[in-house]
Amino acid sequence: MQKPQDLSVIKQPVLVVNGDSDKMVPSSNTTELKNRIPNSEIIIYKDAGHGGIFQYNEEFVKSALKFLEQ
């Protein structure tokens, strides 16, 4: 098994997004990813699956644009 990559080398801001009902990428993995990348933010949409950004498209676009303005 491969050792986890050192994500602390990522210097640019990262927006990590997922749905809390995602069967492909569990929320625990999303939270771990956020915790391993410095200067990252997380959004987890309630009752959303793997396509949470489409289920919550309007809210996601607003959040993504706000994130990109930073």
Q: How does pLDDT run across 38-68, given as a tens digit for each residue? A: 999 999 999 999 999 999 999 999 999 999 9
Residue-level pLDDT at 9: 97
pLDDT tens for 14-37 read 999 999 999 999 999 999 999 999
Q: pLDDT category, 69, cuts 50, 70, 90?
A: very high
- AA letter at 48: A
Q: Which residues pair with 44 in a beta bridge?
A: 18
User: Distance between CA 49 and CA 1 in Å, rounded?
Assistant: 28
Please list, in sequence order, all residues whose beta carbon lies within 8 angstroms of the beta carbon of residue 32, skipping any fewer than 6 positions away: none
User: What percent of the chain has pLDDT above 70?
Assistant: 100
Instruction: Tell which residue, 13, 70, 32, 26, has the closest CA to residue 52.
Output: 26
| pTM of the model as a whole | 0.87
